Chains A and B, each alone.
Chain A
Amino acid sequence: MIGPRIAKGCFNIAYLRSLPCFGNRLSCLPAENSSTKHTPNHPAKRTLKHAIAKLVFALTALMTLGCGETLPPAYKLNSVEFLRQEKLFLGSGEHFDDAYKQEIGSILTALFGTPNEPLVPALLGEDDPVLEVMRPENINMAAGPVSLDYHGKGGGLYRQHCSHCHGITGDGNGPTAAALNPYPRDFRLAKFKYKSTPLRSVPRDHDLTKVLVNGVPGTSMPSFGTLPDGEIAALVDYVKFLTIRGQYERYLMAELSNLDDGEPLIDLKLAQKYHQLAAIEQPTEQQEEELEEVEEQHLDSMWGVVGERLMEDAIERWVDADDNETEIPEAPDAFDSGHDGHRDFVATGRELFYTRGNCAQCHGDTGVGNGQIESFDDWANDWIKTPGVNPFNPKTYKTFTEAGALPPRPIKPRNLTEGRYRGGGQPEEIFLRITNGIEGTPMPATPALTSDEVWALVAYVKFLPYGDVNELPDRQINEKAIAR
């Protein structure tokens, strides 16, 4: 058994709030980073010094608190990822020390608060890039218990509209989740399907807003179009909040296998030693030297966990998300159904469907979605690829379902003859799906096709539900496609 030796305790957010740093989430921290918005403002290690000091203070408080009070709603630990890390890196029957769960919980609470009292992790104060990603007032409006104030302004929007499916943690595992097909989205993987940015780029606010307003046709996700714009914006920010929190949690868990026996993620003893040394008013030369050394070590250890993993990896990618928008070139004239060359253009799309587009392999020869049907999406792949797990044999993944994973289901390629499109049926939306692929699914991007070819595929996809393919001009389709 390995793990950090830390005191066990319970979270007490009221106490945390009373701390000078976290009580007021914005004004508490020195804004040392002088760079302005929209310029690269990676905090140098030393810029973080004060922020880290406050964080350590809060952490120390959290970890030494006693139990006793009734606990308010809490974010759930990602037990599936914890188990996966154990299976990947430890021998069979070995486990990470439970103290790590406690430590990860404490770090997350110190940074992100609780469902009733969330914190925006703006460690750098008013200039923190996270404030470009989400507005604290939006987070407050979306989180917390359902409420209505004197002016009729709603609070607790997420719990009112989202949590029964997506779960209070955004783990896609609310009370109704197991009964839905497809399962509700788990935000913690930081993957989103219907967006105007390429794979591995986060969605723009515009994309998330569209999903909330339009819903996702063909799934249990309804339209929330009747909500006022301000409430939609609050929910979009809270989805980003839960995503960043969930991804950061996964990063923390990925660090566990890097640690030596008994080594904690954040070395509070080192931090305390540093603060003791720093507090000496008239240090001797030796003490000064020691302080310098300890400071370096302390900043190094905090930099990895807070600077790199939280600020650079989990938050930074959301800043300027709009810059990653995929450009949609104008469709050729023949895309217009009134154009003389339109039928020929659709026939080109059909040819590509069977040949270089590789569409028929999954969507089936007639486009009804009966091609390759044994694939899984990334939310399942995330853990079913663990050695020893066979997604078709429940016995092999019992430990995962016990840890909270929903039983894996193969993902179905879309039936293109229905005329119902989850990411929207506008030609531009279908263009984006084909060009960028659909993140988290087997649907690949198509860098080998020109934009005109993609437009031809869009024309064919739009033609499929309503047109008669036999009326299209004959084309030479390769033998294999005909044989299939």
Chain B
Amino acid sequence: MKFYLPAIQQMLVIAICGLFVCCCATAVDAQDGWGTLKGQVVISGDAPEMPLEKVDDHPDKSICLVDGELPKDDNIVVDENGGLRDVFVMMYVKGKGADAPIHESYSKDDEEKELSIDNVKCRFVPHALFVQTGKSVLLKNSDTVGHNCQVTTFNNECNVNLPAGDSVPVKFEKSDKIPGIVNCKMHEWMDGVVLIRDNPYVAITDGEGKFEIKNVPAGEWEFQFWHKKSGYMKKLESGTYKFGRKGQAEVKISNEGETDMGQLEFPTKAFK
């Protein structure tokens, strides 16, 4: 599927890209090394008991069972050690972050790192995804039933029909501030989350709550923490870092090896 841009927008995109390249070129020269940011988000308090998905007696129920059982709502997933999955860790792009130099490994032409959102047993895989603007995302359907894949963010949108076993590539052109949602209107319980943004310094916590962002320019930057069920995670607690109203904390990225934020605790009562 192709999203057509009016000529003016195309010109603008080209102009911005041009500007971008210039910025990068000069900034990279001046950039004093790159580092890796890592850490782990864990919950404090009892893990919330998630309800079963509202599959009810949907005609596709037999295909949507996971291991023969009704799946649980996967909007809050916590492992046995309290690791919280699907937290978005994003460089704060207001102020200084807006001009952060971009490392060459984040080139948008890299076709090897193809992104996709698959439909497997009536779940979005992955549940949470980060897409850089202008990069192609393959919307896939591995199920034997049809789905549609509707992405709705503040600035972007698509809604495509996905026949069983088929796939459709899409692109998003506008940068968002926070993640938006992915829905299937044929199976209302399916709800993923996607962030579309220009700035590539984003990570999503894995099953253990761990995150890692490689090739971050050395220096002081603010990083924001966001989860679908809490919004900005301003209640995060850490011995070292202070979190502001927008879930942001200042981190000094070292140009030698890794900068580890350690364990960041999130009180479960702060989920909305």
Chain A residues near B (Cβ < 8 Å): 40-42, 87-89, 91-92, 198-201, 254, 257-258, 312, 316-317, 319-320, 323-324, 355-358, 361-362, 371-372, 374-375, 378, 381, 385, 387-388, 437, 442-449, 480, 484
Contact = CB atoms under 8 A, between A and B. Distances in A.
Given A355-B163, A448-B168, A484-B59, A385 B12 contact: no
A448 B163 contact: yes
A200 B3 contact: yes
B164 A356 contact: yes
B255 interface: no
A478 B149 CA distance: 22
B9 interface: yes
Contacts of B246: 89, 257
Interface stretch (B34-42, B101-109, B152-160): B152-160
A238 B187 CA distance: 38
B188 A447 contact: no
Interface stretch (B126-134, B205-213, B226-234): B226-234
A3 B163 CA distance: 49
Contacts of B177: 254, 257-258
A375 B181 contact: no
Interface string B124-153: 000000000000000000001111111010
Contacts of A371: 186
A357 B161 contact: yes
B157 A361 contact: no
Contact of B4 (A41, A42, A201, A437): A201
A199 B2 CA distance: 11
Contact of A444 (B4, B161, B178): B161
A42 B6 contact: no
B231 A88 contact: yes
Nearest to A410: B188
Contact of A446 (B147, B161, B186): B161
A199 B157 contact: yes
B254 to A, nearest CB: 28
Nearest to A318: B6
B8 interface: yes
Contact of B159 (A42, A201, A437, A448): A437
A319 B8 contact: yes
B272 A358 contact: no
Contacts of B25: none
A367 B15 CA distance: 48
A28 to B, nearest CB: 25
B26 to A, nearest CB: 19
B53 interface: no
Interface in B163-193: 163-164, 166-168, 177-178, 181, 185-188
Given A258-B177, A358-B148, A91 B160 contact: no
Nearest to B188: A374
A226 B146 CA distance: 44
B74 to A, nearest CB: 16
Q: 7 smallest A-B Cβ distances: which pairs? A: A442-B185, A358-B146, A356-B163, A447-B1, A387-B272, A444-B148, A444-B161
A312 B163 CA distance: 36
Contacts of B152: 378, 381
B160 A442 contact: no
A312 B159 contact: no
Given A254-B154, A381-B152, A480-B145, A358 B161 contact: yes
A415 B106 CA distance: 48
B113 interface: no
Nearest to B148: A444
7 contacts: A40-B11, A87-B272, A319-B8, A320-B7, A361-B186, A437-B160, A448-B168
Given A200-B3, A257-B246, A381-B152, A372 B185 contact: yes
Given A42-B11, A378-B152, A446-B161, A362 B186 contact: yes
Given A323-B6, A358-B148, A375-B188, A448 B272 contact: no
Contacts of A323: 4, 6-7
A264 B156 CA distance: 26
B162 interface: yes
Given A199-B158, A356-B146, A362-B185, 9 more contacts: A42-B15, A257-B246, A317-B9, A357-B161, A358-B163, A447-B168, A448-B167, A480-B144, A480-B145
A375 B185 contact: yes
B94 interface: yes
B102 to A, nearest CB: 20
A41 B6 CA distance: 13
A444 B6 contact: no
B160 A448 contact: yes
Contacts of B6: 316-317, 319-320, 323-324
Contacts of A443: 159
A387 B154 contact: no
Contact of A89 (B8, B15, B148, B232): B232
Contacts of A381: 152
A81 to B, nearest CB: 11
Contacts of A484: 59
A40 B163 contact: no
A75 B7 CA distance: 33
A356 B11 CA distance: 37
A87 B231 CA distance: 9
Nearest to B10: A40
A258 B9 CA distance: 25
B272 A92 contact: yes
Contacts of B161: 357-358, 437, 444-449
Contacts of B168: 447-448
Contacts of A446: 160-161
B180 to A, nearest CB: 9
A80 to B, nearest CB: 15
A42 B9 CA distance: 9
Contacts of B15: 42
Contacts of B230: 387
B196 to A, nearest CB: 13
Given A361-B146, A442-B148, A445-B1, A387 B231 contact: yes
Contacts of A89: 231-232, 246
A357 B123 CA distance: 20
B12 A199 contact: no
Nearest to B167: A448
Given A356-B166, A361-B146, A444-B150, A199 B159 contact: yes
B186 A316 contact: no
Given A356-B166, A358-B163, A320 B181 contact: no
Contacts of B187: 372
Contacts of B158: 199-200, 445
Contact of A320 (B8, B154, B160, B188): B8
